[in-house]
Amino acid sequence: MKIALGADHGGYELKEEINKYLKENGYEVKDFGTFSAESCDYPDYSLKVAEAVANKEFEFGILICGTGIGIGIAANKVPGIRAALCSDTFSAHATREHNDANILTMGQRVVGAGLAIDIVKTFLETKFEGDRHIKRINKITEIEKKYNK
């Protein structure tokens, strides 16, 4: 499974931990940066990862900033992206089953590395349920279309 990974300076260290976990567990990872803890702008990394996922080059993206909020808000501006902020495994499970989320966002200042890795594992291993959730996702796509003319 191919995973696109990105973070700003606020998420850099957690990104490194997640990159290591993914590689050790057989995932194919592309790290889109940032590559140091030097200050940078999170939308730059949201855009790179979100475009790569929307273009279907990668099955999922993982984005990390200080809170997981800004980097997810920016990612959700790219049509076809459903980025979900998760700080617990229940949400990670539910957002895959119900929302077919394709990007996971987390906050390095919110979750520790141990919990973050459990969240990543849950997110990547949970399948979309389909069924009644499909029409709801189609309605999200309709909203995108309405505002992307």
Active site residues: 65, 98
Site string for ligand RB5, 129-148 (x = CB under 6 A): --------------------
Closer of 27 and 34 to ligand RB5 (Cβ):
34
**Near ligand RB5 in 64-93, by CB under 6 A:** 65-67, 69-70
Q: Which residue has the tokens 């992307």?
A: 148
Closer of 27 and 111 to ligand RB5 (Cβ):
111
Distance of closest approach, residue 90 Cβ to ligand RB5, in angstroms: 22
**Near ligand RB5 in 37-66, by CB under 6 A:** 42, 65-66
**106 contacts 85 by C-beta, under 8 angstroms:** yes
Q: Which of 8, 27, 50, 104 binds ligand RB5 (CB under 6 A)?
A: 8
CA distance 8 to 43: 9
> Which one, of 131, 129, 110, lies nearest residue 119 by Cα?
110
Sheet with 2-7, strands from edge to edge, namely 28-31, 2-7, 60-65, 103-107, 83-85
Q: Which residue is nearest to ligand RB5 (CB)?
A: 70
Distances (CA, A) of 123 to 108, 114, 145: 17, 14, 27
The binding site for ligand RB5 (CB under 6 A) comprises: 8, 10, 42, 65-67, 69-70
